[in-house]
Amino acid sequence: MNKLRTLVAGTALFAVLFSQAGAEQIQIAGQIPPMAALVPIGGNTNLNWNNLFTAAPAVDGNNSTPVAKFFLNTNMPKWNVYLTFANGGRLLNAEGKGTTPTVPNGTYPAFDAVGVVFDHFLKAEDDAGDVLGDATAGTDITVDGVPMVAATLASLQSFTSMLGAAGGDFCASGDCALANNWIYGTDINAVGVDVKVAWNSATRARPKLAGTYSEIIYITLATSY
């Protein structure tokens, strides 16, 4: 009887020694504070009519006049910038009137072309993982080597809409795929952006009535991570 008790006790001790407790984990992590800064500043806010009326402004606005500037600085993995004009690109006086009385409501036609020019290539990529500023033909945001995107006023709501409407040697159809409304950052994007516009003097006379005529550009930075 004593031998049986010894065997049972030994078996119980063996079971205790080789049992496992439930698995636990410890997470070690570091945080990079999010950065999302958009700083608009005045560019050539005192517009020169002669500069606005170029002989034949390119559709991409490459030879247009810089009228405003803003700085973008973000380390967000996803970002986009939205631009809109308060008066649809029309310069109006304090009374909301334009420079041509014969046009309905006294308003003047909108700018013909608009472009956005970066002071250097973006550190970002598209949905396909193509870097937007790596000097690769067809995927870079460039016009004649200038880091630039452009669009008509109708499609000037965001960088993605501008890129989607682009053609020629910058983000042609099938390149720079930005279908989900986000641009993917690959580094901290600290970049200056010039907004350029032009009127076509070949189709409209230059304004002559005295007064101060202005337009407002709204700029919004959207980010996510």
Domain of 205 in residue numbering reads as 37-224
20 domain residue, yes or no: no
21 domain residue, yes or no: no
Local structure of 109: helix, strand or coil: coil
What pLDDT does 168 receive?
Answer: 46
59 domain residue, yes or no: yes
CA distance 85 to 130: 31
Query: Binning pLDDT at 50, 70 and 90, where does residue 169 land?
Result: very low
CA distance 88 to 179: 25
CA distance 19 to 81: 58
Query: Which of 119, 171, 110 shows the shortest CA–CA distance to 140?
Result: 171
Strand partners, 116: 149, 195
Other CB atoms within a 10 A radius of the CB of residue 35 amount to: 13
CA distance 174 to 190: 27
Q: Which residues 6+ apart lie within 8 Å of 59 measured at CB?
A: 113, 150, 152
24 domain residue, yes or no: no
189 domain residue, yes or no: yes
11 domain residue, yes or no: no
Instruction: Give the chain's domain count.
Output: 1
| Residue 108 near residue 100 (C-beta atoms within 8 A) | yes
CA distance 147 to 165: 16
Query: Binning pLDDT at 50, 70 and 90, where does residue 162 land?
Result: confident
| Residue type (1 letter), 197 | V
| Residue type (1 letter), 26 | I
165 domain residue, yes or no: yes
pLDDT digits (tens, 9 = 90+) for 32-50: 999 999 998 865 556 777 6
25 domain residue, yes or no: no
| Residue 136 near residue 218 (C-beta atoms within 8 A) | no
Among the residue ranges 25-34, 111-120, 165-174, the one predicted with the least confidence is 165-174
